[in-house]
Amino acid sequence: MTTQADISAEIAALAGQPGEQPRKDYPPYRSSVLRHPAQEPVLADPEGVELWAPAFGHRDVDDAEANLTNRHPGEPIGERMVVTGRVLDGQGRPVAHQLVEIWQANAAGRYWHQRDQHPAPLDPNFTGAGRCLTAADGTYRFLTIKPGPYPWRNHGNAWRPAHIHFSLFGTDFTQRLVTQMYFPGDPLFDLDPIYQSITDPQARNALLAAYDHEVTAPEYSTGYRWDIVLTGSHRTPFEPGEAP
Amino acid sequence: MIPAPGQTVGPFFHLGLPYAGGNELVPPADPAAIRLGGRVLDGDGHGVPDALIEIWQAGPDGKVVREPGSLRRDGWTFTGWGRTATEADGSYWFSTYAPGGPVPFFAVTVFARGLLDRLFTRAYLPDPDPADPFLAALPPARRATLICAPQPRGLHFDIRLQGDDETVFLAYR
Ligand SMILES: [Fe+2]
């Protein structure tokens, strides 16, 4: 069986190469081998709908969906925390009134998902999925439980660093992003081929939340801040109301 | 400011992303509804059972839709956006309208376990304008991967992540 030492050697061999994005062809993440395009992407000017993002609103998302801790009769087990920050486009402008979706493991590192076979307890008071809309200044905010690290079967004794999955939309279609937010100082970072598939350490750091005492609640929750800058096409977007 | 890189949706995205009615932009009983469907295939030609597909499209009049309501469809409002997870055999389908306008295509986003960042592509309606500059610049065999095949009441569009008939994926300027 492939060991962590084998995977760590493969990670080291590919480390440090420049690039804002993960390498899609990244053999240390074994599931990528048959699922990455071998051809280079074709450059395209965004056209038509690609110049716009889908619209979401309060008909789609209830404010209560930003709280992952009160979906069940009891309190979930674990470190209660606020996760907040701003969603910005590539020019630093806020992405306002747009959809943010998250999903995560519970405090024991177990997902509420039938394919998760990790023999850690499910928490009957924690499902682990939430949504919200950004405010006018791009701010999103969730109340949740700090997820635990969990094992997976990429190689022998493989563990994922603790993370929250994030799904984001921007002001146009080209900014669509699904990623993972990590916690500072996780000892599993160097061992994880998914995190290390972003071979540029500066780019990798953009997925790190920071503990922020300002967003904690006294005698209630800790708090983390993570600002998310989207990329996509580098055009100047249309002003609202300019729809074709 | 450093942009946030992508990461795979992983194997557990069903917990957070798909939702009831996500693939029904239009109720299938609508007489104008078409079925856009196909399979997501890996480099060995096997179906990818844990992929997620999103489409974003203009309405039949060619206009970009600015209506919310995709996540809780009311059965009347066409929002132009849909999302679905693939089945065990890698198949997916949407019930929708054919997009109109001068360059009619579905903008498609592909996510999957094993895919470290999302992929963008376009599913063009059959018989696209031969003068379309983007399509015309592609070699014919590659161009063909972007064009839906007509079917009774619908369109067929396979997405090949890797291999001889690999789908053309886009990077936006
Ligand atoms: Fe995960």
**pLDDT per residue as tens digits for the range B158-172:** 999 999 999 999 999
Averaged pLDDT score across all residues of chain A: 95
Mean pLDDT value of segment B48-75: 97
- The CA distance from B151 to the nearest CA of chain A, in Å, is 24
Joined tokens for residue A68: 């992952």
Residue A163 annotated in active site: yes
pLDDT category, B24, cuts 50, 70, 90? very high
The overall pTM is greater than 0.95: yes
Any CB–CB contact under 8 A between B17 and chain A? Answer: yes
Which of B12, B114, B14, B15 has the alpha carbon at shortest distance from A193?
Answer: B114
Query: Is B51 exposed, middle or buried, given 0-12, 13-18 or 19+ CB atoms closer than 10 A?
Result: buried
Arithmetic mean of pLDDT, B51-65 = 97
Catalytic residue among A86, A110, A131, A163: A163
**pLDDT over threshold 50, residue A240:** no
Exposure string for A197-215, b = 16+ CB within 10 A, e = fewer: bbbbeebbebbbbeebeeb
Distance (angstroms) between ligand 1 centre and the Cα of A168 equals: 16
Amino acid at site A90: G
Give dist(CA A177, CA B5) in Å, integer. 8
A220 CA: distance to closest CA in chain B (Å) = 26
Classified as helix, coil or strand, A182 is: strand
- How far apart are the CA of B39 and the centre of ligand 1, in A? 25
What's the pLDDT at A231?
A: 87
Amino acid identity of residue B13, one-letter, is F
Per-residue pLDDT tens digits for B119-167: 999 999 999 999 999 999 999 999 999 999 999 989 999 999 999 999 9
pLDDT at residue B110 above 70? yes
Query: Is the per-residue pLDDT at B100 higher than 90?
Result: yes
Write the residue in B3, B5, B169 that is nearest to A90 by C-beta. Answer: B3
**What angle is formed at CA B18 by the lines to CA A183 and CA B26, rounded to 5 degrees?**
145
| A41, burial (CB in 10 Å: exposed 0-12, middle 13-18, buried 19+) | middle
Instruction: Answer whether A36 sits within 8 Å of B68, measured CB to CB.
Output: no
pLDDT of residue A244: 43
ipTM value for the complex = 0.97
Residues of B with CB below 8 A from A179's CB? 4-7
* A227 → chain B, closest CA residue: B4
Chain A interface includes B69 (CB < 8 A) = yes
- When pLDDT is cut at 50, 70 and 90, the band that residue A234 belongs to is low
pLDDT digits (tens, 9 = 90+) for A130-182: 999 999 999 999 999 999 999 999 999 999 999 999 999 999 999 999 999 99
Q: How large a percentage of chain B has pLDDT more than 90?
A: 98
Count of CB pairs separated by less than 8 Å, A with B: 233
Taking the CA of residue B136 and the nearest CA in chain A, the distance in Å comes to: 12
Helices (H), chain A: 4-14, 193-196, 201-205
Answer yes or no: is pLDDT of A96 > 50. Answer: yes
- DSSP letters, A89-156, are -TTS-B--S-EEEEEE--TTS--SSTT----S---TT---EEEEE--TTSEEEEEEEPPPPEEESSST
